[in-house]
Amino acid sequence: MTILSAFATVLALVFIMLNAVSKFSKHVQIVAGDRFKNIIQSLTSNPFRGTVIGTLFTAIIQSSAATMMMVVSLVDGGVMSFYNSLGVMFGANIGTTLTSQLVALHFTSLAPYVVILGFLMYAYDWKYKRYGKPVLYFGIVFLSLSLISDVVLGLQTNQSFLHLFESIGDIYTAILFGTIAAVVFQSSTITSAIVVILAGQGLLSVSIGIGIMLGANIGSASTSFIASLFMNHGAKKAATAHVLYNVIGVICVIPFFKLFYSLVSMIGGSASQQVANAHVVFNILSAGFFLIFIKPFALFVEWISEKTYKTIPLAEQKINF
């Protein structure tokens, strides 16, 4: 397979995977009805509980972008306060790490069986029929990743392909690469999963893989931020907080990257497992840090929003703590 045909194949599989993630999230929410939204509304009375709910919700629907879109919409509608939305946002970043963990644990090998199971569940008129589509699309996501892995495996001796990843020579380039990839794909989940695959096949070093993953975290905030531009000030604040949360988290880890890398190495595992573990550790540490300083962070976002969106003076705003 030439590098051009391989690139086209991978791109097509990414498009299939993006569609499957979107459909999976949509059908999970259809099956649950308004229960997920009601749970988020009722169980986010404090940031810690919000973080737990955000983690669980995102782990279930496999899309931090979908979680943040719901949160921004709830803030826009006045159902959830900006302050209460922060905990859910912190949890969304933790929940999105499940996919990379499943890829690292070779869950992709079970993907064909999950697809078959989902199809059979949906094909027959029985009480579990409504769960068929979510299971089917969940399987398609990992089947696409499995096929991408097979395509990439066939390119391990292609010098042009190897040169592409050799050009990512430092942590800053890796972060930039990950940010752009997540913005283009509109999914940090998919970007991180592909990075885990590449690291597992020896095409990326663990440190560069972690750098791309950090960049993907920043890029993941683009979806909710773009959507918030057409909403009210509360929604803009929530989306701005998401951007700042990810950017500040990455900036804070850069000076201590060697220490962070050593921590991930101590946990152990294969190269793919180390990148997946770094994804989890980074987001848990970020959430813990921001939960401690959540009030100063909320005030900082308020100040930034006042300057950016030319809102009423901060002194006249009521901040719901």
Q: pLDDT at position 32, please?
A: 62
In a domain, 321, yes or no: no
For residue 59, which of 96, 114, 9 has the smallest C-alpha distance?
96
In a domain, 107, yes or no: yes
Q: pLDDT at position 316, please?
A: 41
Q: What letter would DSSP give residue 310?
A: T
| 168: containing domain | 3-316
Q: pLDDT at position 200, please?
A: 85
In a domain, 137, yes or no: yes
> Residue 92 and residue 66: Cα distance in Å, rounded?
9
Token reading at 127 = 């009480």
Confidence (pTM): 0.75
Q: pLDDT at position 317, please?
A: 43
Cβ–Cβ < 8 Å for 158, 130: no
In a domain, 37, yes or no: yes
Q: pLDDT at position 318, please?
A: 43
> Residue 62 and residue 27: Cα distance in Å, rounded?
12
**Residue ranges of the chain with per-residue pLDDT less than 50:** 311-321
- How many domains in the chain? 1
pLDDT tens digits, one per residue of 121-165: 988 878 888 888 888 988 888 888 788 777 776 766 666 766 766
In a domain, 165, yes or no: yes
Q: Dump the DSSP string for 165-226.
A: HHT--SHHHHHHHHHHHHHHHT-HHHHHHHHHHHHHTTSS-HHHHHHHHHHHHHHTTHHHHH
Angle in degrees, CA 200, 206, 211, rounded to 5: 120
Q: What letter would DSSP give residue 131?
A: G
Q: Dump the DSSP string for 68-101.
A: HHHHHHHHHTTSS-HHHHHHHHHHHHHHTTHHHH
| CB atoms near residue 131 (< 10 Å) | 16
